[in-house]
Amino acid sequence: MTDVSEGKSPLGFWASAPDRHSAAEDAQGIAAGSMLAALGVTMLASAELLIGGTAGLGFLARYSTGLSFGLVFFTLNLPFYWLAYRRLGLAFTVKTFAAVALTSLLTELLPDFVGFGTLHPFAAALFGGLLIGTGMLALFRHRASLGGFGILALYLQDRFGWRAGLVQLALDLVVLALSFLLATPYVIVCSIVAAAMLNLTLAINHRTDRYIVR
Amino acid sequence: MAQQKQAPRRSLGFYSADPSQHTFLEDTQGLATGALIAGLGFYFLNQVGLLTGGTAGVAFLLHYASGISFGLLFFIVNLPFYYLSFRRLGWAFSLKTFIAIALVSAVTEIEQQFLLIQYLHPGWAALLGGLLLGYGLLALYRHRASLGGVGILAIYIQDRFGVQAGLVQLAFDLCVMLCAFAVVSPVTVAWSLLGAVVLNVFLAINHRSDRYVVVR
């Protein structure tokens, strides 16, 4: 992964080829992405908002049973690594495992060091959605993810021919339907704002023709 | 969380078909994202009395010394630099920088009504604040904007008097940190240095125009 043969980098830290990340660059990308995502999750959790995917199931477990988000999120993602390894390769799987583990750990640790006294649900949605979106953007650009349904959806498409987008939509709808049992309409509206911030950030910015690292 | 999305469709006119150019809407979201995240970074630093470099550092010094709000001071401290910016870096860069700074100032002002931090460890404030500022600045740089004047001044001094821009900026930031001893405790200055290191290492690693290929 590291290519310093062209000698542009005296420290060997920066990859000299613009289309490759060095191991150190990947490490800081995953650390930065996980920290931003964990801060976003902490903000959403402080305002008791909801979200889709395996993180949504983590929130559901937290609000309904009091289990910790980090633990549930980490555990729920475990079954997907085998699929990820089979379909997306070792490097992606290891980096995704690191990102999910770090995000889970930080969401456990952060409340001890950052406490939000008053957090307006709308502000939480705006900042939380934006932070998770930018965190995931950093992870995607370093060829990692926050695990979960996306991998399963890809697998099901290959195995049974179900469209991955529809599978993911169905899974998210199930999570949201469950969430709506717990939430007030106001919380639901704010959660939709958070989801929109998150996904717009990704949709606009995740372009492999613009950030050209493969 | 939606992952593994298909590549975005370009048929809506929202996305630039040309990877080397940002559309107006892309720039708008880039500025808004960068300003919101940087504003949150300043807010974290402000909560525990930390500082940073550049014009923001001057605004923090004045804020801690006088009690006038950071957002207002940050906006005012940057005003003299727009003329240089306009002359040297063009109106598009100057306008986008003005909007980014105005947004950051507004965000840090408004935030305290919606987002009250009850407790925050200075180490985490430095780490998270540095990271948020680094990320916000990276977004702004990639959309050809910035958060203020000292860099522009440094380039001007380099051209005019032949003093290296990097040294000018370093000297300026050292002066800010030295002045900081007058208004905050030495421990706070040390945490501020950590935040500045996080910010600048993050930018040094990630701001590469050969990797993020947009040219304007």
pLDDT at position B215:
63
CB burial readout B7-39, b (16+ within 10 A) else e: eeeeeeeebbeebeebeeebbebbbbbbbbbbb
Which residues in chain A are closer than 8 Å to B201, comparing Cβ atoms? 28
pLDDT at site A14: 60
Mean pLDDT, rounded, of chain B:
85
Closest by alpha carbon to B156, among B140, B172, B145?
Answer: B172
Residue B14 pLDDT level (bands cut at 50, 70, 90)? low
3-state secondary structure of B75: helix
The number of C-beta contacts closer than 8 angstroms across A and B is: 146
A30 confidence band (pLDDT: 50, 70, 90):
very high
Residue A141, both tokens: 């650009």
Least confident of A29-33, A160-164, B71-75, B104-108: A160-164
Q: Tell me the three-class secondary structure of B91-152, residue by residue.
A: HHHHHHHHHHHHHHHHHHHHHHHHEEEEEECHHHHHHHHHHHHHHHHHHHHHCCCCCCCHHH
CA–CA distance from A149 to each of A131, A139, A156, A168 (Å)?
20, 16, 10, 6
Does the ipTM exceed 0.85?
A: no
Q: How far is B107 from chain A (nearest CA, A)?
A: 11
Look at residue A126 in the predicted model and tell me its pLDDT.
Answer: 93
pLDDT value at residue B115: 87
Q: Which residues contact A102 (CB under 8 A, 6 or more apart)?
A: A30, A31, A34, A35, A38
B25: pLDDT confidence band, cut at 50, 70 and 90? confident
Interface of A with B in 111-140 (CB under 8 A): 113-120, 122-124, 126-127, 130-132, 134, 136, 138
Cα distance between residue A60 and residue A101, in whole Å: 19
Residues of A in Cβ contact (< 8 Å) with B5: 165, 199, 202-203, 206
> Cβ–Cβ of B114/A123 closer than 8 Å?
yes
CB contact under 8 A, A55 and B1: yes
| Residue tagged 């207002």 (tokens) | B72
- Using a CB-CB distance cutoff of 8 angstroms, which residues of chain A are in contact with residue B40? 127, 131
Tens-digit pLDDT profile for residues B100-125: 999 999 999 888 888 888 889 999 99
Higher per-residue pLDDT: B11 or A188? A188
- Which conformational region is residue A157 in: left (phi greater than 0), alpha (psi within -120 to 50 degrees), or beta? alpha
| pLDDT score recorded for residue B7 | 47
Q: Name the residue facing A120 among B114, B131, B206 (closest C-beta).
A: B114
In this predicted model, what pLDDT tens digit does every residue of A7-19 receive, in sequence order?
Answer: 444 455 566 677 7
pLDDT band per the 50, 70, 90 thresholds, residue A144: confident
Burial class for B181, CB neighbours closer than 10 Å (0-12, 13-18, 19+): exposed
- Mutation for testing the B interface, residue in A204, A206, A208, A209 having most B CBs under 10 Å: A204
pLDDT by residue (tens digit) across B122-142?
999 999 999 999 999 999 988
Which residue in A has a C-alpha nearest to residue B211's C-alpha? A18
Element housing A117 (H / E): strand A114-119
